[in-house]
Amino acid sequence: MSRSLLSAVTGNTPCVRGAVVDRLLKLSPRAVVLAVSIQAQGEGYPTVQRFLSGSGTALAGTALPGATGDPVVILRQDLLSLRRSADASHVVLAVPGDVDVLSLMVELWRPRVSSGSLGDHYDAAPLVVAVDTEAFLADIGCVHRTQLLWSGGDRGESVTRAEAAARQVEAADILVVPRPAGRAFEPGDVELIGQLNYSSLLLTSAGTDGAEGELPASLVRRLPPGADEGWRSRLEPVGPPRARRGGSGEVRTLCWRARRPLHPERLAEALAVVMSGVVRGRGHLWLCSRPDVVVAWRSAGAYLELREADRWLDEDPRCWAAASPQRRMLASWYWHDYYGERRSEITLTGVGLDQEAVRSALDKALLTDQELSLGPLGWTSIPDPLLGDIDRG
């Protein structure tokens, strides 16, 4: 039996998400839509509501019984059931904006001992994200309010609205940006969205109701085998930049790299210059105070998060086996006989960035030759105001 096609569609407003689903159904009239909503239930698992629609199933118009539990487990069961009972050739998973859709897709595709892989039953279509520019611009600068982002497990992740907006754009294989009704895009609106995810296909169209324009047939194509590995690699702390370097107008992106450790005190002093005008920043650091640890850099709006995310790969084959193919490829490309894959790489996108000032500030935060000669044992004695000093007791 041939595998069905699974599309995932989300958006930052119900209006643009629904419009894209409706237009996708014009490309695939027999598709079954599985619409999802998730509600928190105190400290326990959330309640997951699902609704079926579309002409490809006799169950159209059916609200499935609400279930409390891990959203990934519940949705996997729904998708497998649709494949068995309804024999749906194409399922559209309509995901609300409070779901970390990339993490959700990775977990849905992860093989399970009891039920195998979802890839045994479905081929993946491109992950589609619809973006209302007005809502996006309001959210990307909002760091004083938080929201729960769901993927799997018994609780969501509390993030700023700016972080949620940035993650959603970065998750897309295809970005659909409707033009606001009655007016043109504001300068830089689409440019900023496109800069945050240069590898996606960016589509613009007229009418927030989605009535104008047709979506290309590429939205319902089957991705090559291993698409889930590509999604997983985007979640790893060490990976290629997703934002486009350069830019036009006031929206610019720079990528800074270094092959020697950063001094945490000087980096802390440089942050005021580095973060000026930054809308989104992602990357990883090699801090001298933590020579074996990958420190993830993630900022959205004015909020910056630095955290210990992973360990640098060493010569232990088990470390390499656990990494994604993309991580292994990058490690081989950048491998140093003494330092291994260790390096810093940050991508910063913003409006009116002073790129020379940012690069200079970061370069000055690197260890000097004299400090570098101290070696890892000496580096760890340097105070770290960013992540705290390591307890050597």
3-class DSSP string for 345-388: EEEEEEECCCHHHHHHHHHHCECCHHHHCCHHHHHCCCCCCCCC
How confident is residue 390, by pLDDT bands cut at 50, 70 and 90?
A: confident
Judged against a pLDDT cut of 70, whether residue 83 lies above it is answered with yes
CA-nearest of 94, 70, 118 to 20 is 94
292-346 residue pLDDT tens:
999 999 999 999 999 999 999 987 788 888 888 888 888 888 898 889 999 999 9
pLDDT digits (tens, 9 = 90+) for 71-82: 999 999 999 988
* Residue 261 or 214, more confident: 261
Distances (CA, A) of 202 to 54, 170, 193, 207, 385: 26, 12, 9, 16, 40
Q: b or e along 44-81 (b: 16 or more beta carbons within 10 Å of the residue's beta carbon)?
A: ebbbbbbebbbebbebeeeebeebeebbbbbbbebbbe
**51 has a pLDDT exceeding 90:** yes
Per-residue pLDDT, 301: 93
* 391 CB-near residues (< 8 Å, 6+ apart): none
Whole-number pLDDT of residue 54: 80
Q: Where are the beta strands (DSSP E) in the chain?
A: 4-11, 32-41, 44-53, 62-68, 90-94, 122-130, 146-149, 157-160, 174-179, 201-206, 251-258, 278-285, 293-300, 303-311, 344-351
For the chain, give the percent of residues with pLDDT over 90.
60
Question: How confident is the model over 56-64, as a mean pLDDT?
Answer: 66
Of 9-23, 191-205, 266-280, give the lowest mean pLDDT range. 191-205
CATH among 3.40.50.300, 1.20.1440.230, 3.20.20.70, 3.40.50.460 for 4-235: 3.40.50.300
pLDDT of residue 242: 60
Residues 129 and 18 sit within 8 Å (Cβ to Cβ): no
Residue 267 or residue 154, greater confidence: 267
Give the pLDDT score at 207: 47
* Residues 281-288, mean pLDDT to the nearest whole number: 96
Q: Which residues have a Cβ under 8 Å from the Cβ of 188 and sit 6 or more positions away?
A: 249, 250, 251, 351
Per-domain boundaries in the chain = 4-235, 251-379
pLDDT digits (tens, 9 = 90+) for 126-185: 999 999 999 999 999 999 999 989 887 767 889 999 999 999 999 999 999 998 877 777
Could you tell me what percent of the chain has a pLDDT over 70?
A: 93
Q: Examine the pLDDT at 209 and tell me if it is beyond 60.
A: no
Q: What is the pTM of this model?
A: 0.90
Polymer length in residues for the chain: 393
Supply the mean pLDDT for the chain: 88
Classify 251-379 by CATH class.
Answer: alpha beta
Confidence bin at 261 (pLDDT 50/70/90): very high
